[in-house]
Chains A and B, each alone.
Chain A
Amino acid sequence: MPRSFAALTWRQYRLERKMFWRNPSAAFFNFLLPLLLLALFGALFSGDQDDLDVIVPGIAGMSVVSTTFSALAYNMTSMRELGVLKRIRGTPMPSGAFLLGIAAHAVTNTALQIVLITVAGKVFFGVDWPPQPLELVAFVAVGVVCFASLGVALSHVIPNNESAPAYVNAIFLPLIIISGVFYDAEDVPSFLSGIAQALPLTHLIDGLSGAMVTGVGLGDHLSSLGVVVAWTVLGVVLAVRGFSWEQRRS
């Protein structure tokens, strides 16, 4: 049986996919919830194309966050506390192949969601096919690395499984509300928009909006991309530095 880095990454990836679909609550929160919200807000805003043009890239941005940031914060905390990480550490599985398999699993969910949201936008919500597909790929790719690394970094702070939802939602819910997922970010009061401008999601949604709706190209969103990249660097540093294979003994 091949035991190359790539073969073992693929094995880990396939195991993660299988485990994901066997866990209905994870599958629901990670997968169906953004689509459900899109359907609900789509119905609410039906007839008002301006609002629909906001909600489609907004939900796309939110699903990048939920499939990577939230999912990995939960996943890494639970694998650490369950002792899966420590067990794997004692086998010949290369750490990189193991972590890459998990990350690839999360990114598969992101990609599937972006496709579903794009199709739903075209079919139900009067949003055309993305005018800037390359820009879409670029922002999703950077967004995925950014929020995945921040999710892993957050897991280092979460002390145990039981408190994981509290930590994740304390960040996720305010983040999506101030970052213009459900309405135009320009309608946000200025003191909140200042915070939102410093955080990566607003900029990700700006980029996605250009890619999926307005057709404003990557060249005009370089500063947004820059903010997301800056958070990515921070996320990667924090994810690597705080990493622990062991259960917290408290």
Chain B
Amino acid sequence: MSSNELAIEVRGLRKSYGDLEAVRGIDFTVRRGEVFGLLGPNGAGKTTTVEILEGYRERTAGEVTVLGEDPQLRSRSLRERVGIVLQTSGIYRHVKVQEALEHFAALYPHPRDVDEVIELAGLRHKRDAATRTLSGGQLRRLDFALALVGDPELIFLDEPTTGFDPAARRDAWDTIRSLKALGKTVVLTTHYLDEAQALADRVAIIKDGRILVEGAPGELGADGGAIRYRIAWRNGNGLLNQHETDDPTTFLHELTSQALARGERLEGLTVTRPTLEDVYLELTT
């Protein structure tokens, strides 16, 4: 893959804070136009990694390229092409929504239309409201809007829907999908595995500063042998049976041939792939 198809390239990334090694040599790439999810428990090194990509922190070792540039050089041209939604970040308490967006739009060479962004973020009825009067969910939507107003190629979303009610989460998901439809690259860190499953093209699970597994959320663990299919069925007297196996073909062959031999129908037979959540819990706990 040529490097201009890659939005992000990370090789051998390490970051230490004194004696503590928060990131211990990780490699991954994010393709342009892809939604990439970074998952892992608190303290796993997710935020450190993302903040190195965003240009907030300097790495201890390794190579990092974001949109063809080294983020720690903090070039203005790179910051013009990147939008950031931080986990927590405030805004002037007395500024109005529209004013804030106009102020930030003026920092970028080709900003999006402010009205359009207000609409997209669902803040139409709040455009003249001071930010101190907004609810937590509305502030989060303003964070989104502020990150999008510069029309970035690459967007970092750090826990973007924490504290949202289910309806607001679905709206945020739609917004993220619309970014992907526009060809934007999205790097998403989240605690919600259903969110990663729903949105991400590929995910990486980080623990203790290392990437444990990386791939499409539905195929995770398939090559490492970690994937275990769950097979469930009812036997002749109606009792529910369950079995986990990493070789479903052989097991199903035996199960079905025995059932045929006994003349049973195997009511309620299901074969389920592990969800992202199953893989995640198996790897991180």
Contact = CB atoms under 8 A, between A and B. Distances in A.
Interface of A: 1, 3, 8, 11, 15, 18-19, 22-23, 81-84, 86-87, 89-94, 245-247
In this complex, the interface size class of chain B, counting residues with CB under 8 Å from chain A, is 20 to 34
Nearest to B103: A15
B148 interface: no
A89 B107 CA distance: 12
Contact of B89 (A15, A84, A92, A93): A84
B84 interface: yes
B56 A84 contact: no
Interface stretch (B18-26, B91-99, B196-204, B251-259): B91-99
Interface string B72-112: 00001001101010101111111100010001101111000
B88 A83 contact: yes
B84 to A, nearest CB: 4
Given A90-B79, A90-B84, A91-B79, A84 B92 contact: yes
Contacts of A11: 103, 106
A22 B100 CA distance: 14
B76 A92 contact: yes
B215 interface: no
Given A8-B107, A91-B150, A19 B92 contact: yes
A86 B85 CA distance: 11
Contacts of A82: 90-91, 93
A92 B83 CA distance: 10
B137 interface: no
Given A19-B92, A90-B55, A3 B86 contact: no
B57 to A, nearest CB: 10
Nearest to B90: A82
Contacts of B151: none
B108 A92 contact: yes
Contact of A87 (B76, B86, B93): B86
Contacts of A91: 79, 104, 107-108, 150
B146 interface: yes
B49 to A, nearest CB: 16
A86 B103 contact: no
B54 interface: yes
B147 to A, nearest CB: 9
Contact of A86 (B56, B95, B106): B56
Contact of B90 (A18, A22, A87, A90): A87
Contacts of B150: 91-92
Contacts of B56: 86, 89-90, 245-246
A82 B132 CA distance: 12
A204 to B, nearest CB: 31
Nearest to B100: A15
